[in-house]
Amino acid sequence: MNWQQTYTLFGQGTAVSATIAALPVLTVLLLLGVLRKPAWLAGLWGLGISLLVALTCYRMPAVLAFSAAAYGVAFGLFPICWIVFWAIALFRITTVTGKFALIRALIGQLTQDAPSQALLIAFAFGAFIEGAAGFGTPVAIAAAMMAGLGFSPFRAAAICLLANTAPVAFGSIGTPLLTLSATTGLPLLKLSAAVAAICAPVALIVPAYMVLAMGGWRMLRFAIVPCVVTGVVFGGTQFVVGTYVGPALTDILASIFAMLALFLLCRFRPTTGVPPELEAAFRGERDAIAPAADGTDLLQLSVSDVVTAWMPYAFLVVFVLLWSVKPVQHLLAAGTFNVTWPMLHDQVFRMAPVVAQKQPYHAPFVLNLLAASGTSCMGATICSALFLRVSLRTFGQVLAATAKQLMLPVTTVVSVLGMAFLMNYSGATATLGLAFAASGALFPFFSAILGWIGVFLTGSDTSANALFGSLQVVTAERLGLSPVLMAAANSSGGVVGKMISLQTIVVAAAATGMDNDNQSKLFRLMLKHSVLLAAVVGCLALLYTHFLHF
């Protein structure tokens, strides 16, 4: 069966077609942002509306439509939910053994300031995990740690979502840009430099913006020094490495330098003098933590005690880094099975002007059982359980409790990705892209917005680059703009769309144990910040069009 995509509906123009194509997205926004329904319900409704639009408006054959939705569901289960499951299981291991209480106390001894803890864990450490693993791992790990440090589930999730912006384009050893380069045929280093030019200024302001958004101007006044230090070190390193070295190590090096800078700052400036009422409000109206939350006298602790407490996360770092080493990847590839998705692969054809000429739409499913980021997290979890002498029964209870916690979040993730993949293969997403491409001289601004929408739909900058990369290049060449800059704007705009993608919100909520009813509240909070930051990225792209040449 061969089916060609069409991008105009019922003989109408771009505006009407785009409005119809956007119905699934508008449904999700209505249910979450206005009616305040839980995320899992919004996801299921979005999937249902996308099926209706694909079958009745795009006239997509039912076999292809249901296969595309199933393809998205499968991708949601593996690798996304696979990562989240083991990230939460690792955190539960540290709590049932009592080691996280000690970690909490040690961090409290280094700095009791909530903003400094947020910068260290959510921004810097989260960026390290993003650079090494990506695909939901940093939000799951950092949000769980933040909740353990005394932040309310809502605040822990919100802070981690805001923090997980600047590093996204260079995440997972540069995978988003490797995908963008492969999709567009543009030079990787030029793309990396253009993305660095856009994302580094964003990284510069995100630490301060995160504190401002969560604590207000008064809190920012107390925390301005660690915010500036973090932003300058991370953003500066990201710019230099991204421009002159390439995307693979950009986040890893930037986050390491940022963590070192914060550690030194906290050692010589252990407190910013934040008043207790501001401290409690920043954490989410919970009491500020004490240096030794479990009553342990930290002065009596041996080096062995401290090392033992941190070993689960040391295992995580080791496994994540191992999984990024080429020789190890070759060994792990033995457990990789490349499947072409049945009744979909190369049976849908993308057409001009989305692509230069008619192209089959591939549907590969990579079942990388060993090489997946979630498997590295599984290895860290198992090693931690063995090292901390967790009984087999207790380990089983941890896994069972984690699975129970993730029942509704998994429903959300698979339904939203089913919706996103169906919109891709039906042509609805391309219709939205063509509507933005018609903006003419303002296209550099809307180029970033297009990437933002792509990540909102798919939850992945990599997927958004694969989805819209070719469209960005084709449109840029028609308008006489830089293809490199427009492709980079797509990836850069995507980084600030991740905080509102339902699957990312659900990951953060699941990691912190947040009530399902609060997920719509979290979405509404993140939406206004995401829109503002997307506008900043769009303005940067528009500015660079006139003053920089890539």
Q: Say which range, 53-57, 270-274, 318-322, has the weakest mean pLDDT.
A: 270-274
- pLDDT at residue 405, rounded to an integer: 83
Model confidence over 424-443: pLDDT tens digits?
Answer: 899 998 898 888 888 888 99
Average pLDDT, the chain: 88
pLDDT at 289: 43
Q: Tell me the range of 241-245, 275-279, 346-350, 544-548 where mean pLDDT is highest.
A: 346-350
Q: Does residue 298 carry a pLDDT above 60?
A: no
Give the pLDDT of residue 84. 75
pLDDT digits (tens, 9 = 90+) for 287-296: 444 444 444 5
Q: Is the pLDDT of residue 385 over 50?
A: yes
According to the 3-state scheme, what is the secondary structure of 390-404? Answer: CCHHHHHHHHHHHHH
Residue 294, pLDDT score = 47
Q: Is the pLDDT of residue 489 over 90?
A: yes
Give the angle subtended at the CA of 414 by the CAs of 412 and 420, to the nearest 5°: 100
What average pLDDT score do residues 148-176 get?
89
In this prediction, residue 297 carries a pLDDT of 54
DSSP run (H or E) holding 465: helix 461-479
In this prediction, residues 80-96 reach a mean pLDDT of 85
CA angle 57, 60, 61 (to 5 degrees): 135
pLDDT band at 477 (very low <50, low <70, confident <90, very high): confident
Burial label, 277 (beta-carbon count in 10 A; 0-12, 13-18, 19+): exposed
Average pLDDT over residues 113-129: 91
Percent of the chain topping pLDDT 70: 96
Cα angle vertex 206, ends 76, 123, to 5°? 60
Give the CA diameter of the chain: 77
Q: Do residues 24 and 419 lie in contact, with contact meaning Cβ atoms separated by under 8 Å?
A: yes
The reported pLDDT for the residue numbered 25 is 87
Q: Percent of the chain, pLDDT > 90?
A: 51
Most confident listed range (51-55, 114-118, 476-480):
51-55
pLDDT in tens, 92-116: 898 899 888 887 777 767 788 899 9
pLDDT value, residue 287: 41
A 10 A CB-CB count for 232 gives 15
**What is d(CA 540, CA 550) in angstroms, rounded to the nearest whole number?**
14
Average pLDDT over residues 489-502: 93
- Once rounded to an integer, what is the mean pLDDT over residues 60-70? 97
What whole-number distance in Å separates Cα of residue 71 and Cα of residue 75? Answer: 6
Q: What is the mean pLDDT of residues 192-206?
A: 95
Q: What share of the chain is helix, strand, coil (3-state, %, to 5)?
A: 75, 5, 20
The pLDDT, as a whole number, for residue 111 is 83
C-alpha to C-alpha distance for 110 and 126, rounded to whole angstroms: 18
Q: CA 178 to CA 172: how far, in whole Å?
A: 10
Q: What is the Cα–Cα distance from 265 to 268, expressed in whole angstroms?
A: 5
pLDDT band at 417 (very low <50, low <70, confident <90, very high): confident
pLDDT at position 299: 52
